[in-house]
Structure 1
C-alpha cells in the first residue's frame, strides 16, 4: 500500500505546527529559535574532549616538557577534568551567526556572555603571548603564505625514509601518516589534535598540523590563543557555508 498523499489542509496544518514549534524556545538558553534548532542538531554530534598531558620531565619526552614550559602552555595541557557536554553544545549553538552576519567571537551559555576572541583566550591561558592583538605571529603569517618548507618538516618530524604525501599532480604537499612520524612527533600530534586544532581524524597530520608541530619543535613564534580562537570560529561555521573554509589565524 502506498503512503497517503498529503492534502492541502494537511500541508497547512504541518506548516502551522512547524512554525509554532520553531517560535517556542528557551530564552534563558538560546538567543533565537534558529539557534535552539542548531542545538538540537548538535545533540547528535560527539564532543571531542581535550587531553591532560602529565609528562615526566626526566623521561624520553623531556623535550615535550621543555616546549610547554618555555611557551608557558601549562594550562593548555591541563584542561578541566569534567566536561558538561550539554553546555559545550549550547555554546556552539549560540555562537553561530545569523545569515550572512560576520562571526562576533561571542556566544552565550545559560544567559551569560562567553567570548572566544584571541585576547580572551590568551588571558585564560595566562597570557602566553605578548603580541599586540592586531599582530600576527610567525606561524600565522606562514600559514597564510602556505609555502611550507617540506624538507625541513620531513627531516624534523618524520621517521627516516618516510615522506610527506602529495596530491595527484605531485606539486602540493598534503599530509603525513601518523605511523610515519617519530614517536616524539606523535606526542606533539596528540596535543595538537586534542587541545589546539581538535580533530577525531588522528591517522594522519595535514600540512597545517605539521607546520604547527614544526614551529613547536623549532621554538618558533606561535600565538596559540589566536590559533585556538580561529579554530573555534571554523567549527562554529562548519555546516553553514557551502564553500571550503580557509585555515587562517
Structure 2
C-alpha cells in the first residue's frame, strides 16, 4: 500500500511539473516556442496608422463626427513606429502554451505591455463609463441593413449577398464619399485591413455606428483586433496598430528610440 501510494504521489508530482510553464529564457521572448515564432512574424509587414491631414471638401462632416465620438487622438500618430519593438510585441502576445498568462498582455524586452480596452481608452483620452456598446450589441443581435445602406451607400448602392442570401460586404464603389473616407481611416487606425475594394459586414457596421455617433467602445475593438492579429493562423496577415503599440511600449518603459521608424499621412 505504501509503495503504491508513493508511486501515485510521484506520478501526480510529475504531472504538475509538466503543467508548469516554461521560464522565459531571454530578455526578448517568453519561451523558446515564441523565439521560433518570431521568425514567422519577421516576414509579416506592418500596416501603418495614418495621421488625418486636411479634411477633403467633400467630407466636411468627418472632423465633426470624429470629435463627436471623442476619437480625436486616434486620428493622430502618437509616435513613429519602432519596427523591431512591434514585431517582438506581436511575437510574445501570441498565446503559446501557458504564455502570455493573461488576455491583452504582451511582453517586450523585460516589460509587460497591457493592451486591454481600458489601457487603450486611457491612452486615447476616452472615458468609457461601462455603458452598452451599440456596436457589440448589433454584432450579437443583428442590424437594420436597410438603414445601414441608407447611411453608407450612394443611391442604388447596397450590400452584396451570398447564394444563401446572407449579407457579405459592400463594394467600395457603392459607398458615399464620406463613408469612403471613414473606410480608409478605419482600415488604417481601428480595424487594420489592406483590402480596399470592398468593406466587410463588421467593418461596415462600425462605420455605420461612427457616422450615427452611437456608443462604440473603441478600446475594446482595437484590443480585440490586436489580439486576433497576434493569434491569426495567416502568416501573411499584416501587423496593425504599430504606432499605438510603440507608444504603449514606451509608456511601459521600453526604449523605443532605436531601429527603423515609420509614419504615414493621408
TM-score range, shorter-chain basis?
Answer: 0.7 to 0.9
Question: Residue by residue, what CA displacement relative to the aligned partner does 1:117-175 show, whole Å, maximum 9, x if unpaired?
Answer: 0110011101x24223xx54111111122x221111111111111221001122x1010
Aligned match of 1:176: 170
Q: Paired residue for 1:209?
A: 203
2: CA distance, partners of 1:129 / 1:187 = 25
Tell me, in whole angstroms, the C-alpha distance in 1 between the residues paired with 2:26 and 2:98: 23
Runs of 4+ in 1 over 4 A off after TM superposition: 100-103
What is the 5 A alignment of 1:38-77? 38-56=37-55, 59-77=57-75
Unpaired stretches in structure 1, ≥5 consecutive residues: 1-22, 241-249
1:157 paired residue among 145, 152, 155: 152
Query: Secondary structure in 1 aligned to 2:74?
Result: coil
Conservation of the 8 A alpha-carbon contact between 1:158 and 1:182: yes
**Among candidates 81, 85, 89, match of residue 83 of structure 2:** 85
Match of 2:116 in 1: 117
Alpha carbons of 1:97 and 1:103: their partners in 2 closer, same or farther (altered >3 Å)? farther
TM-score (norm 2): 0.74
* RMSD over aligned Cα atoms: 2.1
Structure 2 residue corresponding to 1:137, chosen from 125, 133, 137:
133
1:219 is matched with 213
TM-score (norm 1): 0.79
Q: Which runs of 5+ in 2 are unaligned?
A: 1-21, 235-266
**Correspondent of 1:194 among 188, 198, 218:** 188
Deviation readout 1:205-228 (Å, 9 max, x if unpaired)? 011011000001111111101110
Greater RCO (CA < 8 Å, at least 6 residues apart): 2
> Which secondary structure does the structure 1 equivalent of 2:75 belong to?
coil
Give the Cα–Cα distance (whole angstroms) in 1 for the partners of residues 106 and 136 of structure 2. Answer: 24
Counterpart CA distance in 2 for 1:89 and 1:26 is: 18
CA drift at 1:55: 3.1
Aligned partner of 1:235 among 229, 232, 254 = 229
SS in 2 for 1:194: helix
Matched-pair contact (CA < 8 Å) for 1:35–1:94: yes
* Change in CA separation of 1:100 and 1:32 when aligned onto 2, cut-off 3 Å: closer
